[in-house]
Chain A
Amino acid sequence: MRYLSRRGMLRALAASGAATAAACRRYGGPTQVTRVPAGWFRGEERRIASTCGQCPAGCGITVRVHEGRAIKIEGTRGHPINGGGLGPKGQAGLQLLYHPDRIRGPLRRDGARGSGRWIQISWDEAIDRLATDLGRLRASGDAEGLVVIDGEPRGPVPRLWDRFLTAYGSPNHVTHLSTSNGANALTMEFMQGIQEMPAYDWANTEYVLGFGTSLFESACQTIHLARASSAMRRGRPGRRVKFVQVSTRFSITAAKADEWLRIKPATYGALALGIAHVLVRDNLYDTDFVRDHTFGFESWRDGHDRAHRGFRDLVLSEYKPESVAHITGVPVETIQRLAREMSAHRPAIALAEGTGTAATNALGTAMAIHSLNALLGSIETQGGVLVRRTTLPSWMPPVELDEIARRGLAATPIDGRNTPACPLGAGSIQFVPEAILSERPYPVRALILYRSNPVFSKPEGGKWVEALQKIPLVVSCSPLPDESTLWADLVLPDHTYLERWEVADPAPSSGMPIIGLRQPVVDARHDTKATGDVIIRLGRALGNGVATAFPWADYREAMTQQLQGIKPDVAALVARMEKTGGWWDEQQFERWDEALATPSRRFEFYSQAIASRLAALFPTDEALEQHLIRHSVVTRGDDLCLPHWEPAQLAGDPREYPFLLDAHRGINYAEGGVRHLPWLRELPAAGLLAWKEIVEINPDDAERLVLHEGDSVVVESPAGKRRFQVRVDPGTAPGTVGLPLGHGPWPVTADDASASAGHGLLVALSDPLAGTFAQHGTRVRVRKEA
């Protein structure tokens, strides 16, 4: 179709004579020959091994550098994560490095907030200013008023922030966890006692059932998975792993699956428990594993002789295939067939990565899906779900707290962590703007944004703009002038990942111990500084109390000390890592003491951790009951600690907002989005609308609303409204509107500060107990623009 229009255009131009004229414009001559920088000879090439930083997966990259210029990024052959391949985001890294809009050096605001007027200052001045302001704040006894929003999921910098805030005396190290697969991490914590995302042994599995997963789009292991799925299909002659995808939207993952099953939105948990029902009823489950390694399968009595419900009783009595079919729209026969297939093709994996756990019933759903892995005996076995092995050791000794720090750390965190606002979760970033605006539990006096752009990438961007303007001091570490940096007072631009020396801590892939290394492939392009170094300098500049936590001269020394915990001979280890881009070791299986760290040292169908957390935060049953009623939770009693499903809550009245917004991330969603990197915007399958912000609408809905491909519409949610172009897409379910995230205008200007780009249309709805953000919970209406 694309070509038809290309040619159609030519015909039109030829008719007007414009084609000939256009074809004769003068060619400006060959490109200039660049000068060879010092230290390089003409024609010299180096290949530098490093680790990608466009997403948390940690693929190994090898950068071709020609005469000091980075020319091309390739995957590192033999790397355990990507094996020599590299995805589009990784390829686009050079557009980030050489981005023409990069911030040239530290900036101080000069003019009104959002005016975009800055004065460039020196690093000494920048760090002095910040240290003075933060020192004053700490001295005045409001240490808890400092908030750091840290969007990096793991690695040395998040730990440095943690150390910094601990020594400084603020509990407010806010992460992005609640908006990125938080329910999965919590499930591992509650059912296995592991505080990390699960790892999967793709190489040895026989069957994969994905619940709303986005394996080939934006799971945090997409490239690893592309390689794994290719091997699952074609790696072993005559044997093919079956991959079944259950989802509402017919995504790329669904298109590439062996079988796609449509399901009603946010009913994944019910389907998982329906399958569990058949497995238990027909005795298709792994009885040995359940007997030897699980807790809470049968009904049981606790120390006070109180009876508790077991998982068997729960699924047999409440999740009969007939009622599950009614909830999910998946036929009874299909539910039974899935159970039989999974049981017959073990090891099998039930997978909850992605949109399957993105509604207000996320935690119960993720637990329901993970319970299938236990029933099938796929925990900690070959071809099953593994845990992440050895991570970077922590620095010794731990931080010594002074009086100010102790007082500050005792304050309530503003993201609701360990409070009834977020009883089971690890804090919710989507609570933060409200906390800032209401000054509850206390006013926020200073905010540091690291790898975080909440105005664009968190729900209700408009509210974030208001919140940022209320804070007296906003600091951004972004290397690019993004939507949040626009409102900052001080900018301390970070290096890009291609300019810093850094240990990388990849997401759990196939459960092998792995540490990546980043090294500068070119000299820093601008007067930027690695944030790790900034934290250490800032800590030292703050003097008494804080400085002692940072005994290292710089960031590299701090990391070298961490590496010592892996191999005492750090020099040899670093030399190896500089050559290969990392260090890795073998996979391990059936290490039960590592994989099952719950109070019972077993896989817990009934999570004792949930029970004790609820008991700690709600001293009486009455208090808990009140909380559940206030948040419209229908589940009660033991079921709260067991895998369960309940209907999802939605924001917006269905009569006013008839469509459900199905927001999703594509393969091109890099760190920070899509909009700033033209290569990612222009991926060929995006076609003629590649540069537009689009929504996807089912052909029947489009016909009803008299919409055609490319028409302009206004989409309105309770959180805001925005203009989009329509893409008519048969894979979008009727009654839903697909929204590929990460698009928006670039460069960012204050004029577009309505902040409805990116995630701005989404309402900050959460799982009432886990506090995870419900990305699939916003209703919208669509109006055609005249």
Chain B
Amino acid sequence: MASSPTRRGFLVDLAATASSLVLSAKRAAASDVSAASPRRHKWGMVIDLDRCTGCQACALACRAENNIPVAGPVDTEMGRSIFWMNQLKRSEGTYPDVRQQFLPAPCNHCEDPPCIKVCPVGATTQSDEGITQQIPERCIGCRLCEVSCPYTRRYFNWSEPEWPDALREQLNPDVAVRPHGVIEKCLFCHHRIRKVKDDARVEGRSLTDEDVRRLPACAETCPAEAIVFGDLNDPESEVSRLRESPRAFRLLEELGTHPKVIYLREAKWQE
């Protein structure tokens, strides 16, 4: 890994080299196109806010699945907690005219992600299935992607990940622990996608919507079944059906980032 003077040099030369690095990143992404897939998947997620009850199990399941360390009292107070699946809460109004909203908030996996454009080292790329990936080994911790993400869904590792010995037993062997000093983010549980793809290949069949509908840890645990995952390129999939709902919207659509996380807004009871 680069030592600090070199890294600083990188930052100084950023403007000059950025475009060529982006190109190399794109080449890197193109090279890991998976072998035999009849139709290219485009993974997306629909979150129904009318079903969501704000229980936050999604956030906790994500932490357990992806080996995200507990922030602890000091880092929490400094706002350094990491939640690939976050839960944003917003209260407004004056009692008794109060409103409160919950928003489960994973990475939006934009079709045109601003974070990729600014990475000077190609540490963040888009897979050919539409997942915005992060490669900790390449990341130099400059945090440009963190500030460029309009949704604030990128997290910096402010400290060495630590677990008491007993709790290391729980670590998921499928997910690497990210070191201190790099950015990390939601990856749509791509290790689980790989697993179901392998399983399907072994069984000699192609992936079905049923295989992936509750695949990511957040979707699997959601007691209200508010989170649906699937292939946006498959017109028959649940996510494709739900994105056509009149309640569907995306966050900050006006920015032209084209998020692949689609929300369904809350509805009202009508007599």
Contact = CB atoms under 8 A, between A and B. Distances in A.
Interface in B19-74: 48, 50-51, 53-57, 59-61, 63-65, 70-73
A256 B269 CA distance: 12
B150 to A, nearest CB: 11
A100 interface: yes
A684 B160 contact: no
B173 A250 contact: no
Contacts of B170: 69-72, 94-95, 97-98
A282 to B, nearest CB: 18
Interface string A670-699: 000000001110111101111110000011
A103 to B, nearest CB: 13
B54 A252 contact: yes
B81 A684 contact: yes
If over half of A's interface residues share one DSSP class (helix, strand or loop), that class is named, otherwise mixed; here it is: mixed
A533 B267 CA distance: 52
A684 B59 contact: yes
A685 B54 CA distance: 9
B96 A95 contact: no
Given A70-B170, A250-B96, A88 B70 contact: no
Interface stretch (A229-237, A378-386, A399-407): A229-237
Given A100-B167, A699-B94, A240 B221 contact: no
B59 A229 contact: no
B176 A731 contact: no
A690 B71 CA distance: 10
A10 B221 CA distance: 34
A260 B100 CA distance: 12
A31 B4 contact: no
Contacts of B63: 679
A98 B166 contact: yes
A258 B158 contact: no
A252 B86 CA distance: 17
Interface string B89-127: 101111110111110000000000000000000000000
Contacts of A75: 220-221, 223
B17 interface: no
Contacts of A229: 51, 53, 224
A240 B267 contact: yes
A505 to B, nearest CB: 21
A85 interface: yes
B176 A30 contact: yes
A732 B95 contact: yes
A688 B72 CA distance: 11
B135 to A, nearest CB: 14
B226 A230 contact: yes
B143 A688 contact: no
B53 A256 contact: yes
A678 B70 contact: yes
A222 B55 contact: yes
Interface stretch (A16-24, A485-493, A568-576): A16-24
A291 interface: no
B73 to A, nearest CB: 4
Chain B interface bracket (under 10, 10 to 19, 20 to 34, 35 or more): 35 or more
A7 interface: yes
A241 B267 CA distance: 12
Contacts, number: 234
Contacts of B254: none
A92 B86 CA distance: 16
A9 B221 contact: no
A107 B4 CA distance: 52
Interface in A211-255: 216, 222-223, 225-227, 229-230, 233-234, 240-243, 250, 252, 255
Contacts of A729: 91
Contacts of A95: 167, 170
Contact of A691 (B61, B73, B172): B73
Interface stretch (B177-185, B201-209, B229-237, B255-263): B177-185
A304 B56 CA distance: 59
B259 to A, nearest CB: 17
A24 B160 contact: no
A25 B160 contact: yes
Contacts of A252: 53-54, 100, 102
A66 B195 CA distance: 15
A31 B55 contact: no
B162 to A, nearest CB: 9
B79 A688 contact: yes
B133 to A, nearest CB: 19
Contacts of B152: 3
A260 B92 CA distance: 15
Contact of B91 (A66, A85, A731, A733): A731
A260 B222 CA distance: 24
B13 interface: no
B60 A683 contact: yes
A82 interface: yes
A87 B91 contact: no
Interface in A46-102: 66-67, 69-75, 82-88, 90-92, 94-95, 97-100, 102
B166 A87 contact: no
Interface in A1-48: 2-3, 5-7, 9-10, 20, 22-25, 27-28, 30-31, 34
Contacts of B53: 216, 225-226, 229-230, 252, 256
Interface in A449-508: none
B240 interface: no
B83 interface: yes
Nearest to B8: A20
A730 interface: yes
A34 B166 CA distance: 12
A720 interface: no
A72 B172 contact: yes
A86 B173 contact: no
Interface in B206-255: 214, 217, 220-226
Nearest 8 A-B pairs (CB), nearest first? A85-B223, A27-B179, A230-B224, A255-B100, A6-B79, A691-B73, A230-B51, A226-B223
Given A258-B268, A684-B81, 11 more contacts: A25-B160, A28-B160, A85-B221, A85-B224, A94-B64, A95-B170, A98-B166, A255-B102, A679-B60, A688-B79, A700-B94
Interface of B: 1, 3-4, 7-8, 48, 50-51, 53-57, 59-61, 63-65, 70-73, 76-81, 83, 86-89, 91-96, 98-102, 141, 143, 147, 152, 158, 160, 164-173, 176-177, 179-181, 214, 217, 220-226, 267-271
25 contacts: A3-B152, A27-B180, A31-B177, A71-B171, A75-B221, A85-B224, A87-B57, A88-B56, A88-B59, A91-B60, A97-B170, A98-B166, A100-B164, A102-B166, A216-B55, A226-B53, A227-B224, A233-B50, A668-B56, A678-B70, A679-B70, A683-B87, A684-B88, A688-B77, A730-B94
